[in-house]
Amino acid sequence: MKRARGSALAPAAFEALARVRRALREQAAAPAASQQAPKKPKAPADGPMLFRRAVADAVPLPPPNRANVARPRPKPIAHKRRADEQQVMIDALSDPWDWEAALSTGEELVFSRPGVPTAVLRKLRRGGWVIKGELDLHGHTGNEARIALAAFLNRCMLEDRRCVRIIHGKGLGSKNRLPVLKNKVRHWLTQRDDVLAFCQARTVDGGAGAVIVLLKSSSR
């Protein structure tokens, strides 16, 4: 007897169709899954390792052909001594003085501190001491001369220069031809404790336009 048309398929055919359908579904789902999966970040490059690889063939430079000479250290600044010198300048040369009395005296410049033997002053007036330094005050104003004189005497004390000459001029070019600077120098010198004596210079050493000063020894 023949089977009627429209009869059911064989079981094997159903299984084959099912496998095809599953394969089609998996194939359709694969691109969507690949698009949704997050990308893993790349691992950062190892910098030190890359640098060592880059310089693996480098050759060290030879040492420089020059000597290492040590620079001399700067001398320390004696701030205390500088301050003392500035204070001496203020204390020694800023005292008031009798202007009229100084102008009225035309005596020879001569001075010795109490306790200084007469023979010392006599030797100074005769030129018995060797002059170790000189300061020329020509062209200075009164204030400039005061500062220059103080700095000069301070330097002479540091260098232990006992006998020095200070040229103050005769005042011929000043107003009324008066020895203003000469009298100021005399006053300033008497205010300094380090000045033992001074006198007018001999004619060969400047005469009435200069004064010879004897200072204390810095070793005392």
Contact yes or no for 112/140 (Cβ under 8 A): no
In tens, the pLDDT along 100-141 reads 344 334 456 789 999 999 999 999 999 999 999 999 998 888
Q: Which residues of the chain have pLDDT under 70?
A: 1-14, 29-45, 67-70, 75-108, 171-179, 220
Q: In this structure, what are the phi and psi dihedrals at residue 195, rounded to the nearest 5 degrees?
A: -95, 115
What's residue 26's pLDDT? 77
Count CA within 13 A, CB hemisphere, residue 13: 3
What's residue 132's pLDDT? 94
List the domain boundaries for the chain: 79-215
User: Tokens 């690949």 correspond to what residue?
Assistant: 34
Strands 195-200 and 210-215 come out as antiparallel
What's residue 9's pLDDT? 55
Q: What is the spatial distance between Cα 89 and Cα 147, in angstroms, rounded to a whole number?
A: 7
What's residue 53's pLDDT? 79
What's residue 5's pLDDT? 52
Contact yes or no for 200/124 (Cβ under 8 A): no
Q: How many helices (H) and strands (E) does the chain have?
A: 7, 5
The architecture that CATH gives domain 79-215 is 2-Layer Sandwich (3.30)
This prediction has a pTM of 0.52
